[in-house]
Amino acid sequence: MAQKFGGKFSPGGETEAPKTKGAQLHPYHGKRAARAGGRVNALFLVPMPLIVVAFLSGPAGLAKSLIALGILLFGAWMTREGVLAHEAYDARKVARRPALPRKIFGSALWGIGLALAGWNAGESLANPVIFGVFGAALHGFAFGLDPMKDKGMEGIDLHQQDRVARAVDAAEGHLAAMADAIKRAQDRGLQSRVEQFSTTARRMFRTVEEDPRDLTAARKFLGVYLKGARDATAKFADIYARNGDAQARADYEALLDDLEQNFTTKTEKLMIDDRSDLDVEIEVLRERLQREGVHLDA
């Protein structure tokens, strides 16, 4: 379906840029270029010649080639999931290592698939072994290994961190649903506005991940408010797609403005509280050291 493009000087365009309260973050604030791009997608194309080989072979060759194709495609999918998991790991200051080393599994699957594709009955096993070993090694060299240890978890209650992870995953689900729903409005400006709000919300996610003690104070924002925003976005998108109601759009943008301001204010308060907690801990430590006769320079 065609989408309307327009701007300040387009017919019917806004005479002023939409105003939002508080500091605005660019939708790409804190983001990096995705690794799951051309190289990963190429893995799905490389094994395709096996289809031709399969149907030019006898029954045994057909089965062997199709099985090898399936293994290689499964390895490509595992690799892509591993790359995405690695990106999510790198994006956070506090993160657990992936439960399943997908990229390593992808390398192993590619080694097995290439070995099977290069094997022919009655010939030496040296060829498939060479194909498999070199294929797995080159795959590992190209895409690297999965993160093998937790990051920034020292001194953090693991049970509390698990609670934070579940809350953040649910909140990310609400943001994804908002982004999907607003597409029905067929308006790129609104899609960008939702993405800007998502960026602001994710600042709170990262703050809570860095200090799980903030979860209690932020739980309503991560749950109730985002769920309400998700539902409001779905209803607005359906209305706007039907009749382009300008008043409904203004009300929805005002809602996003208020939500963004509240999320920004709450995130800043959480960060101030964290700093206050640090100051208290430092002062308590100073007093203990002074009681033991150790004097620190101010």
Show pLDDT as tens, one digit a residue, over the chain (298 residues). Answer: 445 555 544 544 444 444 444 445 555 555 555 556 678 888 999 999 999 998 988 888 899 999 999 999 999 999 999 998 888 788 776 677 888 899 999 999 999 999 999 988 777 888 899 999 999 999 999 998 888 887 766 656 667 777 888 888 899 999 999 999 999 988 899 999 999 999 999 888 888 887 788 888 888 898 889 999 999 999 999 999 888 888 999 999 999 999 999 999 888 888 776 565 555 566 666 666 666 666 655 4
CA distances from 95 to 31, 91, 100, 144, 211 (A): 16, 9, 14, 18, 12
- Do residues 146 and 97 lie in contact, with contact meaning Cβ atoms separated by under 8 Å? yes
Domain boundary among 119, 143, 167: 143
Domain that holds residue 212: 158-291
Asked if 205 and 121 sit in the same domain, the reply is no
The DSSP result for 67-120, as a single string, is HHHHHHHHHHHHHHHHHHHHHHHHH-SSBPPPSS-HHHHHHHHHHHHHHHHT--
Amino acid letter for position 104: I
Asked if 183 and 93 sit in the same domain, the reply is no
Tell whether 58 is covered by a domain. yes
pLDDT number for residue 37: 67
pLDDT number for residue 165: 82
Tell whether 32 is covered by a domain. no
Domain boundary among 143, 167, 185: 143
Asked if 198 and 265 sit in the same domain, the reply is yes
C-alpha to C-alpha distance for 49 and 47, rounded to whole angstroms: 6
Asked if 105 and 186 sit in the same domain, the reply is no
Q: How many domains does the chain have?
A: 2
Q: Please, which residues have CB within 8 angstroms of residue 249's CB and are 6 or more apart in sequence?
A: 190, 236, 240
Asked if 174 and 268 sit in the same domain, the reply is yes
pTM given for the model? 0.60
Asked if 64 and 103 sit in the same domain, the reply is yes
Tell whether 30 is covered by a domain. no
Tell whether 5 is covered by a domain. no
Q: Please, which residues have CB within 8 angstroms of residue 128's CB and are 6 or more apart in sequence?
A: 114, 115, 116, 118, 119
- Do residues 150 and 97 lie in contact, with contact meaning Cβ atoms separated by under 8 Å? yes
- Do residues 196 and 260 lie in contact, with contact meaning Cβ atoms separated by under 8 Å? yes
Instruction: Let me know how long the chain is.
Output: 298
